[in-house]
Structure 1
Amino acid sequence: MKIAIAGGHGQIALIATRLLAAEGNEVWGIIRDASQSSDIEEAGGQALVLDLEQSSVEALAGELSSRGIDAVAFAAGAGPGSTAERKLTVDRDGAVLLASAAEAAGVSRYVMVSAMAADSFDPASDDVFQVYLRAKSEADAALRASSLDYTIVRPGGLTDDHATGTVQVAVDGSTGRGTIPRADVAWIVARLLTSGEGIGTQFEVISGNVPIADALRSL
């Protein structure tokens, strides 16, 4: 498969790139800083240099079409210390842009890395974290309303621990709060992109006792 990952230099994206490339897939990491290209290449992927905050749907769709992309994932984020405004322009608008471009390019598969409890945001608050949750919630809603074969992954608190390979998933929010290594989220994203599992599903995930493959097959 040919796969494009927005936020290609993030930890989840780089780990997913390694996993996908090792299985023989062609992976393009979408980044705005060309100096990050070498890290993507080291992981086995290739860099697609494009600023999601500045791009048009037509420009991004053209990039996806020209590379014959089969599936996309959104793992981008404005990052710690960023403003509320950039939570909206990156975490929400960037995700929506990728969905629109995927539709325009005829790419049907879209995997979203969202956030646990995104829909619990306070609409009256201008607190940065509340705006972040709003951005994720609105991006997820836009993806659900699209024509794409989507899966929305809402992980708990992200850690830099080693992958465990086991998780707890729920489509009804019943996992409760918890944490999960980024490496396990990357494994989930990689499997969803290539297996076709979880289409039309939104689920929360934390560390647990069920092997990832079994958990995804149960969705």
Structure 2
Amino acid sequence: MRIVIAGGHGRIALRLERLLAGRGDEVAGIIRSGGQAADLRDAGAEPLLLDLESASVEEVAEVLRGADAAVFAAGAGPGSGAARKETVDRAAAVLFADAAVRAGVRRHVVVSAMGADPAHPGDEVFDAYLRAKGAADAYVRSLDALDWTVLRPGRLADGPGTGLVRLEARTGRGEIPRDDVAAVLAELVDTSATAGLTLELIGGSTPVPVAVKSVAGN
């Protein structure tokens, strides 16, 4: 399976790349700086140099062609202002989805955020982030040409993963290690029965494969 990941140098993406490469998948990560390439190669992924804030739909479609799945894990990141929440968290996600449609890549997994809502109120940067994520999610979910799954993790942590999660349409607030987010994404990528679902994710008591199979069967 070939999987292309937008935001390939992110903390979740690098973990996901290691997992996918380790199980034998062909993995590529889109990065905006050549200085990030070595980290992707160390994770077992092919670096693809492309700036999603300035690329055209056709340029992104070109790097997606031949893939079996696409994962949007890009983000403006902490410290960025409201403008980049709009250009990365919303516009780049929309661009990536449109490019997947053009390239004929149906399986599409989005890393979103708990509380994402295009109508989220407030004037803080985090409010703008939740609106941008919510708008991007709504756009992806409107595309019949994609078999999409939207994953909304709770508060992210860098501690070691437990392999035990709670994955449901609504979980309530909670923390989740990035290791476990990556593990769930790896399962979701090739579990097409989760297409059409928006799922929240926090730490829990269910092993990752069982949690994904459970939501896929609902």
Instruction: Give the TM-score range, shorter chain.
Output: over 0.9
Select the residue among 121, 126, 131 that pairs with 2:128: 131
Q: Output the CA distance in 1 between the equivalents of 2:212 and 2:119.
A: 27
Q: Output the CA distance in 2 between the equivalents of 1:122 and 1:192.
A: 27
State the partner residue of 1:93: 91
Q: Output the CA distance in 1 between the equivalents of 2:156 and 2:64.
A: 29
1:103 aligns with 2:101: yes
1:154-173 map, 5 Å: 154-171=152-169, 173=170
- Secondary structure at the aligned position of 1:79 is classed as coil
State the partner residue of 1:210: 206
Q: Output the CA distance in 1 between the equivalents of 2:208 and 2:193.
A: 12
1:193 aligns with 2:189: yes
1:40-189 map, 5 Å: 40-65=40-65, 68-119=66-117, 122-123=120-121, 125-147=122-144, 148-171=146-169, 173=170, 175-189=171-185
The TM-score normalised by the length of structure 2 is 0.95
Shift of 1:170: 1.7
Against the structure 1 CA distance between its residues 117 and 85, is the aligned structure 2 distance closer, same or farther, given a 3 Å change threshold? Answer: same
The question of whether the paired residues in 2 share the 8 Å contact of 1:57 and 1:100 is answered with yes
Shift of 1:195: 3.0
Q: Output the CA distance in 2 between the equivalents of 1:43 and 1:197.
A: 28
Q: Which moved more, 1:68-77 or 1:191-200?
A: 191-200
Q: Which runs of 5+ in 1 are unaligned?
A: none
State the partner residue of 2:38: 38
- Secondary structure at the aligned position of 1:137 is classed as helix
The TM-score normalised by the length of structure 1 is 0.95
Shift of 1:194: 2.2
State the partner residue of 1:16: 16
Which consecutive aligned stretches of 4+ in structure 1 deviate over 4 angstroms post-superposition?
Answer: none
Q: Output the CA distance in 2 between the equivalents of 1:108 and 1:131.
A: 29
Shift of 1:89: 0.4
The question of whether the paired residues in 2 share the 8 Å contact of 1:121 and 1:131 is answered with no
Against the structure 1 CA distance between its residues 115 and 103, is the aligned structure 2 distance closer, same or farther, given a 3 Å change threshold? Answer: same
Q: Output the CA distance in 1 between the equivalents of 2:111 and 2:37.
A: 22
Q: What is the count of residue pairs matched by the alignment?
A: 214
The question of whether the paired residues in 2 share the 8 Å contact of 1:40 and 1:46 is answered with yes
Against the structure 1 CA distance between its residues 95 and 216, is the aligned structure 2 distance closer, same or farther, given a 3 Å change threshold? Answer: same
Please list the CA deviations of residues 83-105 of structure 1 after superposition, one character each: whole Å capped at 9, or x if unmatched. 10000100111111110000000
Q: Which runs of 5+ in 2 are unaligned?
A: none
Q: CA RMSD in A?
A: 1.1
The residue identity in structure 1 corresponding to 2:143 is: S
The residue identity in structure 2 corresponding to 1:213 is: P
